[in-house]
């Protein structure tokens, strides 16, 4: 192995969905093995489910079993929305699924020149093109678009991931993409950017950021799971801004959108706080809840979980600004919700399971503001 490609430490730390390696790295044995798993687990829809990691080191027998399960899950849950109910087992863009698989296969295909990976990647691209709705956005799930899975979804990087995959294809670095498909890809990018520009939330005449989900028809903010209320997203808006920043020669609308969103992030940052785990014996043992994750669902279900032995508290201090995951659409103040689906003004006011089981605060915009923004301004503004 050439030292210019990767050291033993690099191989050990290889992370398939980080996309930070030179193209030669994707021709190595361990990278190809992951690609083979991805190809094997591709669904009849052309996309992938979110429940299986391709780097788990499957045996031949276990991989066949997982592939059979993925196929059956697709048959069960990938029907049209009128006859289906929301399912975490549907083909999806959630949690990095599909768009990450496509990006990985594109690299392996380029590195190895193996037609097997080219075909799988192109099938995945066609899935992305088919899943894009007329307004330009991508739903969380497709073709099963029931409930909140049918909203245009920025949450967990779904739409940003789809556009990132297409933007990489549009660079022209992948020789096996034919001109006709390249044209379709560019049209999809343009339409997706248009949805982003139109859905940017305006409050009192001022452009802000985006919600984690938006309506496909009127672009308005929508809720997701019962504790994910219509709101301004301090987390997902960062990925959307990065998509806009990758646009070559951005026009005035794109520049204005980025500037206004960045200004909002500056205004929304929360300084001099941090989260800390406070040991608490009352949060040990097994707990039981009746929950309804899907707001449009009719039934609740029993849910059991183990206490973590600590509570999570927001305390004064800290040297890095944080952002809340969600902000109220009127006051633009942080909001939090538990399994009752009711907005609260403080993390301490929601139920314990959601308080410690969901990321309500983060440093999401830190790198964007410190590194990405100055680079973008130097290239296109200064």
- Average pLDDT score over residue span 126-135: 98
On whether residue 97 sits in a domain, the answer given is yes
pLDDT digits (tens, 9 = 90+) for 235-266: 999 999 999 999 999 999 999 999 999 999 99
On whether residue 230 sits in a domain, the answer given is no
Q: 130 with 98: CB under 8 angstroms?
A: no
Is the pLDDT confidence value at 105 over 60? yes
pLDDT at 84: 60
Is the pLDDT confidence value at 372 over 90? yes
Q: 16 with 31: CB under 8 angstroms?
A: yes
Q: 140 with 148: CB under 8 angstroms?
A: yes
SS3 for 334? strand
- CATH code of the domain covering residue 158: 1.50.10.20
Give the rounded distance of the alpha carbon of 203 from its chain centre. 25
Cβ neighbours for 232, distance < 8 A, ≥ 6 positions apart: 201, 208, 209, 210, 211, 264, 268, 326, 327, 328, 329, 332
User: Number of structural domains, the chain?
Assistant: 2
Give the CA distances from residue 87 to residues 45, 74, 79, in Å, rounded to whole numbers and listed in that order.
15, 11, 11
pLDDT digits (tens, 9 = 90+) for 33-66: 999 999 999 999 999 999 888 999 899 999 999 9
pLDDT at 296: 87
* Domain end among 127, 152, 174: 174
Q: 288 with 352: CB under 8 angstroms?
A: no
Q: Which domain holds residue 338?
A: 273-361
Share of the chain above pLDDT 70, in %: 96
Q: What confidence category does residue 6 fall into, taking pLDDT thresholds of 50, 70 and 90?
A: very low
Sign of dihedral through CA atoms 141, 144, 149, 152?
A: positive
On whether residue 170 sits in a domain, the answer given is yes
Total count of residues recorded for the chain:
382
pLDDT at 2: 40
Is the pLDDT confidence value at 100 over 60? yes
pLDDT digits (tens, 9 = 90+) for 170-220: 999 999 999 999 999 999 999 999 999 999 999 999 999 999 999 999 999
Helix 158-170 to helix 99-112 angle, to the nearest 10 degrees?
Answer: 20
Q: What confidence category does residue 294 fall into, taking pLDDT thresholds of 50, 70 and 90?
A: very high
Q: What confidence category does residue 381 fall into, taking pLDDT thresholds of 50, 70 and 90?
A: very high
Average pLDDT, rounded, for the chain? 94
pLDDT at 81: 54
On whether residue 338 sits in a domain, the answer given is yes
Is the pLDDT confidence value at 12 over 90? no
* Domain end among 174, 194, 209: 174
SS3 for 293? coil
């Amino acid at each position: 192995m050439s030292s210019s490609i990767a050291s033993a430490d690099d191989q050990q730390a290889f992370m398939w969905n980080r996309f930070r390696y030179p193209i030669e790295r994707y021709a190595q044995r361990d990278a190809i093995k992951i690609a083979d798993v991805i190809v094997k687990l591709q669904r009849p829809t052309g996309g992938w489910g979110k429940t299986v990691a391709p780097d788990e080191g499957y045996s031949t027998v276990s991989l066949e079993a997982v592939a059979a399960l993925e196929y059956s899950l697709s048959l069960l849950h990938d029907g049209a929305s009128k006859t289906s109910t929301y399912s975490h087992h549907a083909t999806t863009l959630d949690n990095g699924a599909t768009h990450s698989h496509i990006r990985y296969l594109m690299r392996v295909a380029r590195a190895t020149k193996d037609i097997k990976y080219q075909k799988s990647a192109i099938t995945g691209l066609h899935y992305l093109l088919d899943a894009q709705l007329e307004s330009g956005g991508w739903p969380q799930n497709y073709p099963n678009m029931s409930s909140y899975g049918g909203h245009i979804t920025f949450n967990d990087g779904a739409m940003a991931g789809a556009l990132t995959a297409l933007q990489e294809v549009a660079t022209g670095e992948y020789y096996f993409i034919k001109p006709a498909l390249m044209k379709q890809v560019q049209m999809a990018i343009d339409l997706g950017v248009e949805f982003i520009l139109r859905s940017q939330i305006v409050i009192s005449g001022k452009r802000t950021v985006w919600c984690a989900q938006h309506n496909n028809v009127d672009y308005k903010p929508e809720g997701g799971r019962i504790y994910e209320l219509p709101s301004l997203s301090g987390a997902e808006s960062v990925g959307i801004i990065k998509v806009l920043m990758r646009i070559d020669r951005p026009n005035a609308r794109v520049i204005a959108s980025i500037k206004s969103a960045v200004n909002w992030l500056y205004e929304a940052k929360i300084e001099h706080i941090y989260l800390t785990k406070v040991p608490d014996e009352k949060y040990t043992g097994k707990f039981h809840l009746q929950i309804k994750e899907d707001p449009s669902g009719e039934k609740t279900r029993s849910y059991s979980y183990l206490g973590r032995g600590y509570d999570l508290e927001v305390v004064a201090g800290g040297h890095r600004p944080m952002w809340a995951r969600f902000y109220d659409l009127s006051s633009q103040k942080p909001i939090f919700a538990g399994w009752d689906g009711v907005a609260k003004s403080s993390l301490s006011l929601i139920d314990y399971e959601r308080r410690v089981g969901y990321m309500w605060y983060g440093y999401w915009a830190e790198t964007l503001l410190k590194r990405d923004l100055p680079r973008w301004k130097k290239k296109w503004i200064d």
